[in-house]
Structure 1
Amino acid sequence: MARSDLLLSLVSAGAAGDQQKVRTATEALIAEERAKNHNILADKIEKALSSVPVSSSALLKSKRVSGEDKEAVLEIEPQIQLDQLMLTLPAYESGRQLIEEHVRADVLRSHGYEPRHRVLLSGPPGNGKTSFAEAIAEALAVPFFLVRYDALIGSYLGETNTRLRRLFDYVRTRPCVLFFDEFDAIGKERGDTHETGEIKRVVSFLLMQLDQLPSYVVTIAATNHAELLDKAVWRRFQMRIGFPAPSNSQVKGFLENITSHWPNKPKVSMATISRTLNSSSFSEVRDFCQNVRRRQILGLGELSVDESLRIELDLWKSRIVPRDIDGDGFEQTPLEGRSR
């Protein structure tokens, strides 16, 4: 049985003669039934909608989903939970609010509101943007779709827009979380004189498609270079959440959480390690801890966790890092003592 809020929305839209709302509510109803594997009923509703001249809809133009329609997305089974992430309070509260709005969407719709469904995440790499998007999908129990740019960006005129259309046609058929990583790759500033006219057309088309997505498709875009995004792109996103680099205290807490699951707790303090790993992302800290455990495991009991830590810390201090100045190349320098 369809949700009561969708039926009420459909009836009220029909009574008011709101064609756009009729189409949106009906598409939400179709997606709801397909999510329950009620494909026969969904097909009948889709056929009924296509026989009525409501408005043009990408959903009606594509009766069946083909492999070509979904080639630009990679479906990942969400496993990460929001409470497992090390987030700033604003990011955590924003995520919790977003989940509540979709879980209780019927309450919002009964008052004439839709849950927010376009979210922009901004911050340096390795600090939880992708994990945050996956956690939202896990909490809502919907598919998590990661956009594949290699299958989306075409080399011929108009090819990228065609693939974008197929992508949006596919994702709007069911409730899901659609995640664009490195969003600045296709959402660039149209005023940039170095960009071609093709990129500008892609951005314009992308904005139009984002506007037309129904609220049951949660679109999350992440970028490491927010300054490169087109100004109109910012306006499309109802929630904008920052993911800054972690402080030393946050790294210390992250280390304590990871090492608490180790069979042997290190003697060296986590505060000391966090100072050595200064200016690191959460991803880098996790990789460091995994390297310590790998070295200890392969030592077959002859290497203590503290000795393994000492070796990895020495290697960390001499690792290759990107230069902090403009230009090409890399420099090999200890990370400790570098300015943030």
Structure 2
Amino acid sequence: MAPTPFEHGLALAWSDGALSRDGAIMLETLQKQLGLSDSERAKQEQLWLADISKNERRSFGDGDQILREWLEGLNDRQSLEPVTRSMGRAALDVGLSKSAWSEAFRFADGLGLGEELANGIWLEEEAEPLDGWPPALDPLAIILGLVIALPQVSSKQDFELSDGSAFVVIRNQDAKSAPLSWMPDLVPVENENCAWGWKNGATPTTEAPDGDLVYCNSVLLAWIRRLITMRHQRGESSLDGLPDGLQVMPSSTEIERKEDTLNLSMIVDLGENGLVRPWASVTIGESIEVGSAPEGLAPNWVKIHDALGNVLVHALETLPRQLLQASGTNSDLKSVRMEEGWIVHDLDS
């Protein structure tokens, strides 16, 4: 079932695995904006948080910045109403099932736009042809199936493809590159496929291998640094199990490949005891598995080793989903492998 508007906000606020102070404040704002009572909010929050793993499947974006932009977009009621009517009309053109109508109306009604959506569906003469929608209505477009059914129509965000080498390639006819708010230095680039490259014009040392979704190790590295930085900004320990007073330096994070193994390391500041660089590895085969800690390692360092391994696994699981979501591709990940400096995923299209 599609989320309610408040559940969508919850998914954005919790998308990094924890709720930040800014996220909590914005959820209060969203509650007031949607006119939810405390009891109704508590009911939705309790149901959603009962299975927080649904976060990755039910949200349509990522992080506090996207939540902030979404809230700002919802304030423009004057432009949202006619676009909602047009989306209702377009949904009829592509085919609207009873279940899709029910879920779409539930979401639109939560935004106070249910009547506009209904008018677009049942009173087509009052709705203009759809030529796009603002990002605030992206979730509604996905529920109605407009993102896939009308690939030529997308949320209104003007950008130009850059010249440069591809560090991410998605070979899927439905995939379209777009700016990434969660990794702004990775920009859409000119390519026969959906592709992104680094804003600074960097060039990969090897050509992108064959595969449905491929990305260079440097993109994975940037994603890991972002995940750790976000934890730090929320006031959390950068790594689970890291003793109080110790600091991780996200910029020191490094990834090395050895055959079918990826090693992740980063510098930890021990204060008066100096700097150390703990590491952990994962093996990529039929599944992604964290390697065992070296024998004789002290218990506290075993915790740090395992935390590093879990960060790497989490990054390998979430980054491809983020990229697919950003491209508008509705496919599941089927398998993963490594080829030189690239991670390669096959899609179950």
Q: Does the alignment reach a TM-score above 0.5? A: no
TM-score, normalising length from structure 1? 0.28
Higher strand share: 2
TM-score, normalising length from structure 2? 0.28
Higher helix share: 1
**Larger relative contact order, structure 1 or 2 (CA cutoff 8 Å, min sep 6):** 1
Larger radius of gyration: 1
